[in-house]
Structure 1
Amino acid sequence: MYNQTDNYYIRVEMKNPKEWKWTYLCSPINISVSNVPEIPILTPSHLQPVMEKTTVSLSCSAEAPCPKQPPAISWSNIPESANITTWLQEKPNITQSVFSHVTFKASHIDHRKNISCTATYPRNTSNDSTVETTVMLQVLFSPKETHITIDPSDLVSVGTNVTLTCKSKASPNQMNYTWYKRGQEKELFFGEKLTFNVSRRSGGCYFCTAKNIHGNQTSEEIQLIVADVPEPPILTPTDLQEVMEESTVNLSCSAEAPCSEQPPTISWSNIPESANITTQLQEKPDKTQSVFSHVIFKASYMDHRKNISCTATYPRNISNDSSVETTMTLRVLFSPKDTHITIDPSNSVSVGTNVTLTCKSKASPNEMNYIWYKRGQEKMMDFGKQLTFNVNSGSGGWYCCTATNIHGNQTSEEIHLIVAESLIIREPLIIGFVIGISAFLLIILLVIRFLRLQKIKASIISETDISDQGQEKQVNSIYVNSAFLMDEELEMPKDDNDIIHYGQIDFSTAQIKNTTEKISGQETIYAEVCASGKD
């Protein structure tokens, strides 16, 4: 059977009662006949990228023009664990089709696979008719199968160039690569390839990390052997776990001794001075010999993240000995240490400016919580590594902070925040206080002076009264001016502050004259007595 396409028309023929024939040419029907069935319909026809380990669902349907002999549907390039269900169903237009549904978990090994749905139609011939539809599956996943290759080989000589390549599979394929060497905590290099000139210290174990937007993976270590350099010593444990502060650390280092008469010497670096070291030459089960060194010390927070090295030095008959070493990083767990506060911009700030207090501390692990306090305030002020606020007149004072991690806490020493305007505000108070004290002292001096004058005046009055009772007419006056008027009262002084001392004088032999008399023994500045109206 072969393909054929043509137009078909409706024709009407009548034989009775009169023969009549008519063909309707205006509305032909086009019919195509093919020996190849229609291809099955695969949905979705275009798969969007799916994340690794998510469920993928696909459907496939094929026409069944002969329900008694429906097509068989099969799938290709799907995981063995996929779940497939197939059935014959009737469509709304009364025709029938075979429907198949498949579900499976997406894996990185399915990435970029062409998944096919094939419909096979049975025939009465030797060959069945087969048609298929294909869709490409794109899976997103983090780096897989990460490994390193070395060029030219694993065994290289000093002075040659060597290239290490980090290879990995990922989707998307845009990756970042980071290189490491065992015993060195920091990264060696960034990039897919690491190229360097080999030195005697280049030997060791290298590894790389590949990373894309969905994750990362680290390769296994690969050892680079330098041909003319002895094997590096073996440091155990090779991967020291985190140790608690004040706990005991035990490390062992062994180096091959191919010549027992000239064995290598083993030395340690970055260990505490108080460490206890024992070294001995020992025979291994295979009858070869090696130098074995053991070190014991107490872990301190100051040893955290130190690279402890074991170096084996082999004597040679040339000027330079050959040295190889192995390094490991010590990680110590400890509560916060060296907790202190820094102030920005300075210890002395002005009202209205922003100030930031930062609480700094060392701890392992480094995830810490911070609490702020101020002297004189019972409750805590705030939480967080930094305390930022706008300065007012009451902001001055002593501040401290407490740093806490899972192993303990430590409180910093207090730091004094000085508000500059507070000094200016106190200056008028100080000046007023000094002026007040000075005025008070001046008043006391005036009162003392006044009391002394009063005492002197009282003494003068007392002496005048005593002299009036004696035979001698003594006048003890600073100034006396007495005017006697007949039949008239003595005129009193108008000013109350004018003080006049009076004395009694006997005028038994009155004389009309002015008399000025000096009295011995008394100091008289001026005395004048005037009498009138008598013979």
Structure 2
Amino acid sequence: MNFLAALSVNVVTVNMLLSVFFLPGVLAACLYHTDLDITAPKQMEALSGSCLQIPCSFRPTSSIPSTPSFNSTRETFGVWIKNHADIRTSPHNVVFNSSVKVSKYPMKITGNLNETNCTTLFSNLSTNHSDKYFFRIMNWPFRATAVCDPLQITVKDSPWKPRIEISGDLKEKKSVTITCSAFTPCPHSPPQLTWTLQQDSHNNMEENTDGTFTTKIQETVTLSDSHDGNNISCSARYPVNEGDFKTAETEVTLNVSCETTRVCYWILSQTREEFALQVPANVKEEEIHYEDVSFSRQRPERLTVSVQDGGQQQETVYAQVQVLKVERSVTHTAGGPEELYAQVKTN
């Protein structure tokens, strides 16, 4: 009975432990003791044929008095391990060691390890380099691996499309800032951005809060009705393999709202001796005030005139429109569009 009771207690204990381990969020916790923490992105992407800069800093966390501690006055070496952190059982997983002249992978620690900076440049990448990586410090007699801070690197064959952002209202006579930005995994070999908005735009590279980089071009534009429907395309050309390039492109279409909707959307046709308003389906009928519109074949001297009407300020706007002639026209014969000027009073 005592054996069965002990077995029962052990089974209950195992079940409790399994329940704890599989609680949501607990799986993300590291179950290993470690004397080293690093600050670096958890996941990074790179382009085959290019390079990747890994922003990295480390913090020794040895808390046991009897164990060696990190000393910045001693010579320090950095090690990168792929796939699995245990180098005793898998020594072949060591792909870079700064204490030796030749390593398996083309990596170089550009940070100052004695200042706890482990920033690393990974060059000549291929898709075979996609893996999970661990960082290790050797500062004899202190040695530790950041087993709880793995970095997942994914190497792609195709470049990332640039991103076009527009800040501000897309309305006539309004100024907006248009920005094209591209992911920049390697600031030593950034992409070249070009677009149809303006030739020879200056490329700027900015550092993000996590230590990664973004390349941008930016222009401020004052919108007019001529911008409506315009396409803006931006391309990012990434240098690869010391002379070749990989390019990706993004395109957006500007939809500019007119300042006076009634003038912008009316299509006029002259049937018999009257002017008729043809309203597109996307314009609401209640937005139209027929009594406020008059037409003239003579171009006014001023396109905008402000007047005082019954104590209320009104603005008269003149906009050039085109009359589509039809065969039934009494006054005119069929032919190309005729220029007229629409006079609209707005409050």
- TM-score clears 0.5: no
Q: Which has the larger radius of gyration?
A: 1
Considering fraction of residues, name the structure with more strand. 1
TM-score range for the pair, normalised by the shorter chain length: 0.3 to 0.5
- In the superposition, the TM-score normalised over structure 1's length comes to 0.26
- In the superposition, the TM-score normalised over structure 2's length comes to 0.37
